[in-house]
Amino acid sequence: MKKLFKKLKTNFSEKMKDESGQGMLEYILLVVVIVGLVLALKGPLTDQVNGIKDKLSGSIGSILGN
């Protein structure tokens, strides 16, 4: 039984020192944050772009005499 616990402890210690998956986790978290920001700012950005588009359309229409 002691051998099993010692083996489990050694295996756990090795897994805790292994950092190979850490980089992938950081990239996944970065993508999640970026997607969250895009979803959170989608409405306000769309409103801003539509407002600028409407102003430009009005300005161009007045220049062309429409």
Average of per-residue pLDDT values in the chain: 85
- Which sign, positive or negative, has the C-alpha torsion 37, 38, 43, 45? positive
Tokens coding 31: 């993508």
Higher pLDDT, 53 or 15: 53
pLDDT band at 25 (very low <50, low <70, confident <90, very high): confident
Residue ranges covered by each domain of the chain: 31-66
What gap in Å lies between CA 15 and CA 7, rounded to an integer?
12
Site of tokens 């600028």: 52
Predicted structure pTM score: 0.47
DSSP three-state, residue 19: coil
